[in-house]
Structure 1
Amino acid sequence: MRQPTTRAAGPPGAVRGWLDALAVVLAGLVAMAAVAALGLWLAGAGDLPDGGFPSVLAATLALAVGGSVLLDGGAGGFAAVGAGISAMPLGVSVAGAVVMAEVFLRQLRFRAVAGGGELLGRIGRTVLLWLLALVLLTLGARHSFAVPLGDDLAQSISGALGLTPEVGFHADGPTTVGIGGAWLLLVFAATFAVSRRAPLPRALVRHQLAVRPPAFALWLVLLAYLAIGAVTGVLTALAHGDARRTLAVVLLALPDLAWPAFGIGLGAEWHGRLVGALGLPVPQPLSAVLRTSDGGQATIGLGTLAEHDARSWWLLPIAAVLLLAAAFLAARRSPRTVRLRQHAVRFALATAVTVLLVGLWTRVDADYGLSVLGVGLGQGGLGDLLGAVLGGNGPPAGLGGGSLTLRPVLWTAVPLAAGWGLLTGTLGALLATRVRHRGEATGTGRVPKGGAAG
């Protein structure tokens, strides 16, 4: 008898795997592009000439995954531009990360355990397609604008010489692709650390109770800061005007402002400097601290912020309360068999890692200058640069020089976070001893006398 032919299962399974990976990549790009486009439009980038908006959008996505954008141009030996931006618009980053994680997890739903080979295959295919998408993104993240010089004498000289200076920007390919790939791997690592829906290989299942409760609790702390920041931003937009540009900051850079507030509330510090106009509204105390009289480096901490606005002291109790609540939640989600010392150490490590990542994500380096015959023009303001690349009111007009730097002092921030985590982790575990932990039975489980358990 002729045996029925069976179709090989390999190719369809392989095709399905690539389609799943493509779905993750496309979902992330669409989410990031939607948030970035709306934020840029609110900031005024929709008025950019010469069809520059798509290129600015691509450059913003490149920055959102950790890439950098370089400015160059000029008019031969007459004028020259030197600039660069390395700053993550974390509002765009978080939108893409959350959507990609959700799509990836939905493909693995209803599974408690997954093979290591399968997970590595899924992650590998997704990363490969993601790197290809980043290459295409860097090709689209380039544009040039004509720059009218902002000085009457310079305008006259350039007109007489028939020179039209131009400034262009382009995403740095190696940086964008390299760091962008690492960004996606970090998204996957955070997904498996935080979500209980993420299936793990059998060899790692026994470690999940040590990692997931504190990781999930700290993720909720970061979300709480975003919620507080969003409400504050909306109220500011309604009360003080300039609503479009304020909402643009909320969409593009809310985590860049809200998450350092968490670290500062714990006593951490950032060093920074602002020269020129920032272009988009930021909290007044932060701007006042960054803009020193001599243009030197400033220290951003609780004390320096409170010198300009006493309400900044509220960052301390807010951080303490939220961290204690997170420690309590982490202890409640852990088995009662976990010792108090173990829970405190785990929560301390999770808090330290969280502050470390916040510090790395909120680093800002933006610097540019336009010189004519070797002489720098007046301070045009960093807002001019952001206007061309990150969404402003038009191309750089009167582009001069400006810079914004913001760097965390990690060697003090991380130990401070660990100390706070150890303290709140201990208190949270003590509070959790009086409540039922996740997975515990509500009764004693004893069989009543004279009958069977019902």
Structure 2
Amino acid sequence: MRPAARHGWARAVAAVLTGLAVMVLVAALGLWAAGAADLPDGAFPRVVAAALVTAVGGSVELSGNAGALAQTHAGLTVIPLSVTLAGALVIGAGFLRPLRHRAVASAGELAGWAARIAVLWLLALIGLALAARQTFAVDVGSGTLSDLTGLFDAAPKVGFTTDLPLTVLFGLLWLAGVLVLALLVARGAPLPGRLLRLQESVRPAAHAMVELLLAYVVIGLVTALLTAATRGHVATTFALILLGLPNLMWLALTLGLGATWNGRVSGPFGLPMPHILDEILRTPDVSALNLRSLTAYDGRMWWLALMAALLLLAVAFRMAVRSPARIQPWQHAVRLAVALALTMLMICLTGRVSAHYGLSLLGIGDLGGGLSGELFLKPRLWQAVGLGALWGLVAGFLGGLLARPVQRHGEVSGPAD
């Protein structure tokens, strides 16, 4: 009964509520900086709830209505990864806290502790899904379009609602991923006896990938703050930091490793920072976003490849130093290749962006003119995964070679007397 008392329902409530509070704070500040506080009908709390739903993989559906003679069509697919990352770090830390200072934990104990958190998380998901529902009227301005919509009682409206079953399903899968990753990454987290071998084969590589992703976020944060201090646009910059900084920086990681994303921007939609992305993607046809197109627009973009190479080599070295000395460089290469390929897969699946909106009246499409638009950014998935595996092989092997002269923790340099 002592383990249950040590991490029972009270600690589970604290872990879930703390995680939710941090996610709400990050999402609310980011949306406030983006101007969402000015939305009509007191919609701001519901928009915050929708942001949390999408942050954990839930489904938010857009709907349109413009009377009997008109139609609106809209769609939005984007994950605010700043909110996702904040929630994952806090909930993961809350999950691990009662388990610290332990060498081994039984599978039943870990499952019971995770189940308590999952039950409370399920209730939170249902509450968020029910709260994230709202409808807005679209301002079409003045002129002919305004006269026509008034004449036919076709004032366009757009709203959002949640798909409750999908939100619950993907929200629970997100939680499971966070808890499993926390156990794999944290060096002091206990594992069941049968899984202790993962401490040697999986944990150093998983920890290296988390370090790589967080390093990119820190670099992006410093760059964004310097940009806000020197060039202005403070509100836009803080909205980006609090909602989508990992989206941008992890995209930069894949581009630095040579991956290609296809995309297009039209109409009123746009990418807030940096401006170069909007310029490359705002074309009549689908554009390719990669190192070649970036350097063609701005030759300084080659630093993305240099930064990726240096940071990857650094985490590969740290991975090898944390591993036992008997592990060969080729084994480091294979483990880092698998870890980086999975990391690239995760970035590609969570970093996709898609948004569109349009208005038609009496069968005339895109009547809204400046109101209609489209934005999408999608990766060439298997190319990115393959490049991740290739870079992981090279960096892992070099990291293993560089770590050979380094004395590991707990080793001795010579035979005992």
| TM range, smaller chain | over 0.9
Counterpart residue type for residue 367 of structure 2: L
Which of 395, 405, 409 aligns to 1:434? It is 405
User: For residues 300-325 of structure 1, what are the alpha-carbon distances to aligned partners after superposition, in whole Å with 9 as ceiling and x for unaligned?
Assistant: 11001111111111111111111111
Q: Is the 8 A contact 1:71 1:81 kept in 2?
A: no
- Residue 42 of structure 1 deviates from its aligned partner by 0.8
Name the aligned partner's letter for residue 359 of structure 1.
Answer: C
Among residues 323, 336, 361, which one is paired with 1:334 in the alignment? 323
Code of the residue aligned with 1:350 in structure 2: it is A
Indicate the residue corresponding to 2:388 in structure 1. Answer: 417
Cα-to-partner distance string for 1:54-81 (whole Å, 9 max, x where unaligned): 0110111111112232222323213322
Deviation of residue 104 (structure 1)? 0.8
Q: Give the conservation status (yes or no) of the 8 Å contact 1:249–1:280.
A: no
Q: Which residue of 2 aligns with 1:343?
A: 332
Larger radius of gyration: 1
Deviates more, 1:152-161 or 1:98-107: 152-161
Question: Within 1, Cα distance between the matches of 2:261 and 2:385?
Answer: 12
Q: Deviations over 1:260-302 (max 9, x none)?
A: 111111111111121223356121221112111x2x2111110
Whole-angstrom CA distance in 2 between matches of 1:431 and 1:16: 41
Counterpart-to-counterpart distance in 2, 1:285 and 1:147: 29
SS of 2:411's partner is coil
* Structure 1 residue 161, shift from structure 2 partner: 4.4
Secondary structure at 2:359 match in 1: strand
- Which range is displaced more, 231-240 or 149-158? 149-158
**CA–CA separation in structure 1 for the residues paired with 2:178 and 2:315:** 21
Q: Secondary structure at the match of 1:84?
A: strand
Q: Which deviates the most, 40-49 or 158-167?
A: 158-167
Structure 1: 5+ residue stretches without partners: 1-8, 381-399, 448-454
- CA change 1:379–1:111 in 2 (3 A) is farther
Residues 86, 364 of structure 1: 8 Å contact kept: yes
1:227-285 CA-partner distances (Å, limit 9, x unpaired) = 11111111222222211111110111000000011111111111112122335612122
Specify the alignment match of 2:295 in structure 1. 306
The residue number in structure 2 matching 1:38 is 29
Deviations for 1:190-222, whole angstroms, at most 9, x for unmatched residues? 111211122100100122111111211121111
Range moving further from structure 2, 148-157 or 342-351: 148-157
Distance in structure 1 (CA, Å) of the matches to 2:165 and 2:6: 29
Residues 66 and 86 of structure 1 are in contact (CA less than 8 Å); yes or no, is this contact kept in structure 2? no
Aligned mates of 1:20, 1:61 — CA distance in 2? 22
In structure 1, what residue type is equivalent to 2:354?
Answer: D
How many residues in Structure 1 have an aligned counterpart in Structure 2? Answer: 416
1:84 CA displacement: 2.0
**Native 8 Å contact 1:144 1:168 kept in 2:** yes
Q: 1:186 aligns with which of 136, 153, 177?
A: 177
* Equivalent position SS for 2:99: coil
In structure 2, relative to structure 1, the CA distance for the partners of 1:374 and 1:71 (3 Å cut) is farther
Q: Distance in 2 between matches of 1:147 and 1:199?
A: 54
Conserved in 2, the CA contact under 8 Å of 1:77 and 1:373? no
For residue 396 of structure 2, what is the amino acid of its counterpart? Answer: G
Give the counterpart of 2:95 among 104, 112, 119: 104
Distance (Å, rounded) in 2 between the aligned partners of 1:419 and 1:126: 38
Does the 8 A contact of 2:359 with 2:367 survive in 1?
yes
1:119 to 105, 110, 129: 110
Corresponding residue to 1:220 among 211, 236, 240 = 211
**Structure 2: which 5+ runs fail to align?**
none
Distance 1:125 1:374 in 2: 53
Does the Cα contact within 8 Å between 2:95 and 2:114 map onto a contact in 1? no
Scaled by the length of structure 2, what TM-score is found?
0.95
Query: 1:378 is matched by which residue type in structure 2?
Result: G
**Whole-angstrom CA distance in 1 between matches of 2:362 and 2:165:** 32
* 1:92/1:252 contact within 8 Å kept: yes
- What letter is aligned with 1:435? V
Asked if 1 retains the 8 angstrom alpha-carbon contact of 2:264 and 2:287, the reply is yes
Q: Given that residues 72 and 156 in structure 2 are in contact (C-alpha distance below 8 angstroms), is that contact kept between their aligned partners in structure 1?
A: no
- Write the mapping of 1:155-234 to structure 2, written as runs, cut at 5 A: 155-162=146-153, 164-234=155-225
User: Match for 1:377 among 367, 388, 406?
Assistant: 367
User: What secondary structure sits across from 1:67 in the alignment?
Assistant: coil
Q: What amino acid maps onto 1:324 in structure 2? A: L
- DSSP-derived class of the 1:107 partner: helix
